[in-house]
């Protein structure tokens, strides 16, 4: 039986938010019983509006944040059992803003080589040869090795960040909004580069984004998040062709290019709920035109329906809570 590269089991993440002078502190549940599986060599896209818990999930996956409950497995081993230095050799991040993630006082060559030095890998000659090879693989020239991050464009800086992430030859990349800080003209270049590297190096890729067009271009599998929960998950092809959850359908409709022969899609009604005061029952029910009484009082669980998992009473039997 194949072991998933990454498995998330019932992960919850709760923050305590300090109250004001006249109110007590409250709990904010950023992740609510999140379960996901990422098979080896797959590209999982995680999508949702700002505040849905995507970035919290990325920090949990990287081991930067210990979940309040639940666990993350990497190749079948609990993340908590791995030493940080061993985890860094298995999994690497590509962050949103390449300028803030690169040391401005170091040259590109030193930035990319540093992980090899920390892990004591190879001789100086071997390290420099690998760095130069990777710089070429991400579409930069050897002359860029002597440049400082401030001398590069945003797209070039993100290429450096990708090269640094790959220098340890990890099996898994966690990409948190990797193009949202870049000009539109270079976003597709970086996405295509990631896809090429993923295919060539047989990487497992977790792509976190609010942009459905980005995820549709890259992902083999998809997870839709709403207020800390996964509301739909499955193969990207299946979900894009036949989205089931009303929230997924609303996101798809809003992201589609308008057809001049059709009316514009209705905007998603209402505002994203306050995570400190979430709605009862299904968190999406105040914005859902299909909501019934049960949606206001009970929270649907994620269940398999026609090849995808969906958390919606539209696909549950009457006997379900």
- Helical residues (DSSP H) of the chain, grouped into ranges: 54-61, 84-90, 108-118, 124-137, 154-166, 184-201, 212-218, 236-241, 246-255, 293-297
Cα gap 164→110, rounded to integer Å: 10
What is the per-residue pLDDT for 261?
Answer: 53
CA 73 to chain centre: 16
Taking a C-beta distance cutoff of 8 angstroms, is the pair 320, 302 a contact? no
Distance of CA 77 to the CA centre of its chain: 21
Catalogue all structural domains in the chain, each as residue range(s) with its CATH number: 6-315 (3.40.50.300)
Q: Residue 264's pLDDT is what?
A: 46
Distance CA 194, CA 173 (A): 10
- In this structure, the chain runs to a length of 321
pLDDT at 21: 65
pTM confidence score: 0.90
* Eight-state DSSP code of residue 141: -
Which of helix, strand or coil describes residue 92? strand
Report whether 108 contacts 160 (CB < 8 A): yes
How many Å apart are CA 223 and CA 309, to the nearest integer? 9
Going by their DSSP bridges, the two strands 43-47 and 204-209 should be labelled as parallel
pLDDT given for residue 266 in this prediction: 56
What are the φ and ψ backbone dihedral angles of 216, each rounded to 5 degrees? -60, -35
Query: Per-residue confidence of the chain (321 residues) as pLDDT tens digits?
Result: 557 789 999 999 999 887 766 667 888 999 999 999 999 999 999 999 888 999 999 999 999 999 999 999 999 999 999 998 899 889 999 988 888 889 999 999 999 999 999 999 999 999 999 999 999 999 999 999 999 999 999 999 999 999 999 999 999 999 999 988 888 889 999 999 999 999 999 999 999 998 888 898 899 999 999 999 999 999 999 999 999 999 999 888 877 554 545 554 556 777 788 888 899 999 999 999 999 999 999 999 999 998 899 999 998 755 555
């Amino acid at each position: 039986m194949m072991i998933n590269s990454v498995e998330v089991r019932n992960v919850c993440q709760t923050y305590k938010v300090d109250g004001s002078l006249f109110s007590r502190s409250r709990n904010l549940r950023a992740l609510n019983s999140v379960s996901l599986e990422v098979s080896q060599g797959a590209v999982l896209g995680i999508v949702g509006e700002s505040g849905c818990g995507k970035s919290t999930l990325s920090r949990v996956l990287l081991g930067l944040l210990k979940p309040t409950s639940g666990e993350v497995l990497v190749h079948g081993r609990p993340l908590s059992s791995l030493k940080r230095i061993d985890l860094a050799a298995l999994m690497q991040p590509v962050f949103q803003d390449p300028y803030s993630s690169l040391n401005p006082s170091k040259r590109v060559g030193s930035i990319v080589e540093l992980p090899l030095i920390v892990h004591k890998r190879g001789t100086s000659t071997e390290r420099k040869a690998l760095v130069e090879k990777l710089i070429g693989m991400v579409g930069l020239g050897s002359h860029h090795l002597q440049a400082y991050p401030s001398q590069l464009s945003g797209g070039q800086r993100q290429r450096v960040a990708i090269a640094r992430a790959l220098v340890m030859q990890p099996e898994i990349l966690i990409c948190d909004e990797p193009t949202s800080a870049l000009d539109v003209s270079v976003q597709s270049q970086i996405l295509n580069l990631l896809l090429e590297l993923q295919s060539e190096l047989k990487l497992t890729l977790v792509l976190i984004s609010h942009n459905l067009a980005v995820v549709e271009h890259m992902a083999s599998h998809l997870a839709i998040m709403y207020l800390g929960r996964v509301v739909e998950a499955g193969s990207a092809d299946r979900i894009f062709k036949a989205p089931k959850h009303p929230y997924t359908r609303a996101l798809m409709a809003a992201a589609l290019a308008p057809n001049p022969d059709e009316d514009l899609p209705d905007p998603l009604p209402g505002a994203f709920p306050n995570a400190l005061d979430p709605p009862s029952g299904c968190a999406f029910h105040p914005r859902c035109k299909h909501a019934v009484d049960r949606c206001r009082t009970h929270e649907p669980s994620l269940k398999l329906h026609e090849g995808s998992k969906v958390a919606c009473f539209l696909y549950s039997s009457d006997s379900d809570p």
